[in-house]
Structure 1
Amino acid sequence: MNPVGGIGGGGGSLEQIIALRKQIIDRSQVLKEIHEPKPAEPTSSATGGPSFGESLRSALDSVNSVQAESGRMTAAYERGEETDIAKVMLARQESGVAFEATLQVRNKLLAAYQETMRMGI
């Protein structure tokens, strides 16, 4: 009676069993490598990523451009050049939401700064 006859649905030879064992070990190594935590890399401008100041400036520029477009569309509607009120109102709402989001980020940054200043050294 073959003790490993049930593997793979047929009688497995010793070479097949060894090959199967090697595949299992290789796959487990790959899974270990995938799930191991990697050391955190610094996120500075030296690594090529944008700095915090650059990201903030980019976000503020984006909000500014949305507000400028909203102002342009509102002025065009007032002059009679833009006839679709829905587009104008949508641009104004988008501008308002962008400003409110920016204001909330500013408030969180200010609160974090004030909390940092209250910390004892």
Structure 2
Amino acid sequence: MSGVSGIGSGAGLNEIMALRQQIIDRSQVLQQVRTGDTSATAGPTQGAGSSFTGALKSALDQVNQTQSNADTATAGYETGQVTDIAQVMLARQQSSVAFEATLQVRNKLLSAYQDIMKLGI
């Protein structure tokens, strides 16, 4: 564990743990959607739909913000404003993981949509 603390400050580890928690939270939401568990969204169907839309928009906004932060860190390093390469690499990796998670969610939603369209009514 001493190798990790040698890379950057304790704040870097906190950022990694926060990113890990976000991935776990999103995974739990996806699991609830897959199993049809609506206990987390107790309310009318219309409320659940707008809740899903809001959650999806919020998640996409967070991914966009993460990518923007990574671009800012990269530009800062290129111009000499940021000298900690570990911080820049951490920001780039967070951006990559967030985008990959979003891509996997999109793939699952697309697959579910295609399965629904194949159903005979």
TM-score w.r.t. the length of structure 1 is 0.61
Write the distance in 2 (CA, Å) between the matches of 1:71 and 1:46: 36
Q: Which of these two proteins has the greater Rg computed from alpha carbons?
A: 1
- The residue matched to 2:43 in structure 1 has which SS? coil
Q: Deviations over 1:34-56 (max 9, x none)?
A: xxxxxx64354648x96111100
Task: Please tell me the residue identity of whatever aligns with 1:103.
Answer: L
Write the distance in 2 (CA, Å) between the matches of 1:120 and 1:58: 34
Write the distance in 1 (CA, Å) between the matches of 2:47 and 2:111: 29
Aligned length: 81
What residue number does 1:85 align with? 85
Residue 120 (str. 1) matches residue 120 (str. 2): yes
TM-score w.r.t. the length of structure 2 is 0.61
Gaps of 5+ in 1: 1-39
Write the distance in 2 (CA, Å) between the matches of 1:74 and 1:43: 45
Paired residues for 1:38-117 under 5 Å:
41-42=42-43, 44=45, 46=47, 51-117=51-117
Stretches of 4+ moved more than 2 A in 1? 40-47
Write the distance in 1 (CA, Å) between the matches of 2:44 and 2:84: 45
Q: Which has the higher helix share?
A: 2
Gaps of 5+ in 2: 1-38
Q: Which has the higher contact order (CA 8 A, sep 6+)?
A: 2
